[in-house]
Amino acid sequence: MDLFDNLSLGFSTATTLFNLGFCLMGVLLGTLIGVLPGIGPTATIAMLLPITFQIGDPVSSLIMLAGIYYGAQYGGSTTAILINLPGESSSAVTAIDGYQMARKGRAGAALAVAAIGSFFAGTVSTFLVALLAPPLTAIALQFGAAEYFSLMVVGLVSSVALAHGSIIKALAMVVLGLLLGLVGTDIYSGAPRFNLGIREYSDGLNFVAVAVGVFGIAEILRNLEDEHERTVLIKSVTGLMPTRDDWRRMVAPILRGTALGSALGILPGGGAILASFASYTVEKRVSKHPEEFGKGAIEGVAGPESANNAGAQTSFIPLLTLGIPANPVMALMIGAMIIQGIVPGPNVATEQPALFWGIIASMWIGNLMLIVLNLPLIGLWVKLLTIPYYVLFPIIMGFCSIGVYSVNSNVYDLYSVAFFGILGYALVKLRCEPAPLLLGFVLGPLLEENLRRAMIISRGDPSVFVTRPISATLLFIALAVLVVVFLPAVRKKREEVFVEES
Greater confidence, 382 or 475?
475
Query: Is residue 64 over pLDDT 80?
Result: yes
Q: What is the pLDDT of residue 279?
A: 84
DSSP-derived secondary structure for 35-70: HSTTTHHHHHHHHHHHHHHHH--HHHHHHHHHHHHH
Q: What is the pLDDT of residue 226?
A: 63
State mean pLDDT over 290-317. Answer: 83
Predicted confidence band at 312 (pLDDT cuts at 50, 70, 90)? confident
Q: Cβ(479)–Cβ(466) under 8 Å?
A: no
Predicted confidence band at 482 (pLDDT cuts at 50, 70, 90)? confident
Q: For the ranges 19-23, 87-91, 165-169, 231-235, which has the lowest average pLDDT?
A: 231-235
Q: What is the pLDDT of residues 140-183, one digit of tens each?
A: 777 788 888 888 888 788 777 666 667 788 888 889 989 998 88
pTM of the model: 0.71
Alpha helices, DSSP H only, in 105-243? 107-140, 145-161, 167-180, 207-211, 218-225
Predicted confidence band at 301 (pLDDT cuts at 50, 70, 90)? confident
Query: Is residue 86 over pLDDT 70?
Result: no
Percent with pLDDT over 70 in the chain: 83
State mean pLDDT over 306-333. Answer: 79
State mean pLDDT over 409-426. Answer: 86
Predicted confidence band at 271 (pLDDT cuts at 50, 70, 90)? low
State mean pLDDT over 369-376. Answer: 78
Structure letter (DSSP) for residue 278: H
Query: Is residue 272 over pLDDT 70?
Result: no
Q: What is the pLDDT of residue 501?
A: 46
Domains in the chain: boundaries:
2-501
Cα–Cα dist 313/52, whole Å:
21
Q: What is the pLDDT of residue 500?
A: 47
Q: What is the pLDDT of residues 18-60, one digit of tens each?
A: 889 989 988 888 888 777 665 667 767 777 777 766 676 788 8
Q: What is the pLDDT of residue 114?
A: 84
Note every long-range contact of 388-394, with CB atoms under 8 Å and residues 24 or more positions apart, other chains counting.
Answer: 388/227, 389/38, 389/223, 389/224, 389/227, 390/224, 390/227, 392/36, 393/220, 393/223, 393/224
Greater confidence, 37 or 500?
37
State mean pLDDT over 410-430. Answer: 87
Instruction: Give the amino acid at 336.
Output: A
Chain mean pLDDT for the chain:
78
Note every long-range contact of 148-151, with CB atoms under 8 Å and residues 24 or more positions apart, other chains counting.
Answer: 148/446, 148/450, 149/447, 149/450, 149/451, 149/454, 149/465, 149/471, 150/465, 150/470, 150/471, 150/472, 150/474, 150/475, 150/478, 151/322, 151/324, 151/474
State mean pLDDT over 223-247. Answer: 64
Cα–Cα dist 33/297, whole Å:
26
Cα–Cα dist 127/69, whole Å:
18
Cα–Cα dist 55/65, whole Å:
12
State mean pLDDT over 333-337. Answer: 79
